[in-house]
Amino acid sequence: MNDSIMIAWIVNGLAVLLSWAALLLNKRSVPAEQHEDGMFARMCLLTIVAACVKILRKSIYPVTDIEQFDLGLIAIVFIEDMLFLGLLMQWALFVDYMLTKSMDRQRLLLPRVYVALGVVAAAEGIMGGIALYLVFRHDLESTVFLTLWTIVSYFAVQMLELIFLIFSVRKMAVFRKRRKGPILFRGMPFVIPVFIGGVLSLLLVKYVNFTILCIGIGLFLLYLSMKEERHYVHQETGCFTGDYLEILKTGKRSYAGGLGILVTGAGDEGIAKILRYDCPEGMDVIRLESGKYYVAGERADEQAVAYILKNLEEDAKAEGLSLLIRHDLCREGESIGELAARLEGM
């Protein structure tokens, strides 16, 4: 092993350690708001580190032909992939956190990330081992064999990464059960470019790494879709905006049976806080205007509705808020959005 490989090894090794250290840091239980900033800063820093590592490695040990593959290079590429996979997973966790604001869910997802990293690492190791075997055992046809094998193995590993990322992104849907599909769909741009980028970079043979670019494109697409979502989410309270009610009126979003609760009072953020805490999972809280909220949910029995309202009233009292609460079930043919208008008119 020559010096340049050794240096590349060390640089990559350090970068991987950094990446994994960051993963471990996520385990820390810190207040959500601190966590959010810290996590984002860490992600940016690691992305920059990863990019620098890539550039540095390429300047030390440029590989322009697949025939240059040897033990050292396979090891380096393996470590590099681990670094990027670690980063990718961290971004998935970060996006998950941004969507769910759940620290506990972060801690839940972390073991899965480790398992995913372990499986992909093992897959890469096996693929690399077979590639080496092919090089040493089939001297004459090594280029053909190796090229084919590398394409197949890269494809397989990318598929594994894709599966794990879809798995992670799908888990993000937990916080809003009925919106699994759209969230999964929004996560796809984040995943697909990585996959396509990997295959493209391989097919071009030259080690021009599209991965960073593709991750960038993926994140940009994700940003665009999140931006659209922000249109429907009031940033100060975290509740849906009145625009969301328009969707309900069209019937594009429906609830079985339909239960509507209209809450009015003074203290905009206080009401939002109570509603977001007290309304069961599956109910959507919509901010119509300052101090006026509408909660849309599925039809529930009298006892359940009474219990939810009792909790609301008690918590409002504890917070010193006076609330006017009206509720009803949808009538035959009435959408949940139309029920809001009826309750407002009462």
Partner 1 sequence: MEVSVLNRENMAAAGALMPPDVAENIGRTWYRGLVAREDGTEEACGVLVWEYKNVGISGLQTEAELVWAAGERTETMDALFGQYRREIASEYAARSFFEFACEVPGQTVLKSLEAQGFSLRTITGRDLIVTVNDLQRLKLHKKKSPFYVQPLKVLNLRQFSNGIADCMYQGRKGILEDLAWLSNKFFEPDVSACILMDEKAKGFLLVHKTGSGVLVVDLLFTMGVNGSRDVLELIRHSVRTALELYPPETKVLLRRHNQTVRALVDRLFPDMKGEEAVAGERMETADE
- Positions that interact with partner 1 (CB under 8 A): 101-105, 107-108, 171, 173-174, 177, 277-278, 280-283, 297-304, 306-308, 311, 314-315
Least separation in angstroms between residue 305's CB and partner 1 is 9
CA distance linking residue 245 with residue 265, whole number of Å: 19
Longest dimension (CA), the chain: 86
Least separation in angstroms between residue 269's CB and partner 1 is 18
CA distance linking residue 39 with residue 161, whole number of Å: 22
CA distance linking residue 155 with residue 235, whole number of Å: 41
Question: What phi and psi, each to the nearest 5 degrees, are found at residue 268?
Answer: -55, -55
CB atoms within 10 A of CB 115: 11
Report residue 217 as tokens.
């494109």
Which residue lies nearer to partner 1 by CB, 214 or 296?
296
CA distance linking residue 123 with residue 146, whole number of Å: 17
Question: What phi and psi, each to the nearest 5 degrees, are found at residue 127?
Answer: -60, -45
Least separation in angstroms between residue 255's CB and partner 1 is 12
3-state secondary structure string across 97-131: HHHHCCHHHHHHHHHHHHHHHHHHHHHHHHHHHHH
Which residue lies nearer to partner 1 by CB, 229 or 315?
315
Q: How far is CA 257 from the centre of its chain?
A: 32
Which residue lies nearer to partner 1 by CB, 11 or 116?
116
Which residue lies nearer to partner 1 by CB, 235 or 303?
303
Least separation in angstroms between residue 307's CB and partner 1 is 5
Give the strands of the sheet with 259-265, arranged side by side.
Answer: 284-289, 292-297, 259-265, 323-329
Closest Cα partner for 116 from 168, 189, 42?
Answer: 168
Q: Is the dihedral of CA 33, 35, 36, 38 positive or negative?
A: positive
Which residue lies nearer to partner 1 by CB, 146 or 321?
321
Which residue lies nearer to partner 1 by CB, 210 or 255?
255
Which residue lies nearer to partner 1 by CB, 49 or 174?
174
Instruction: State the amino acid at position 171 in one-letter form.
Output: K
Least separation in angstroms between residue 301's CB and partner 1 is 4
CA distance linking residue 56 with residue 289, whole number of Å: 54
Which residue lies nearer to partner 1 by CB, 174 or 219?
174
Partners of 297 in the β-ladder: 259
Least separation in angstroms between residue 149's CB and partner 1 is 37
Which residue lies nearer to partner 1 by CB, 31 or 345?
31
Least separation in angstroms between residue 277's CB and partner 1 is 7
Q: Do residues 146 and 73 make contact, with C-beta atoms less than 8 angstroms apart? A: no
Least separation in angstroms between residue 282's CB and partner 1 is 7
**HSE value, Cβ hemisphere, 13 Å, CA-based, for 162:** 16
Least separation in angstroms between residue 281's CB and partner 1 is 6
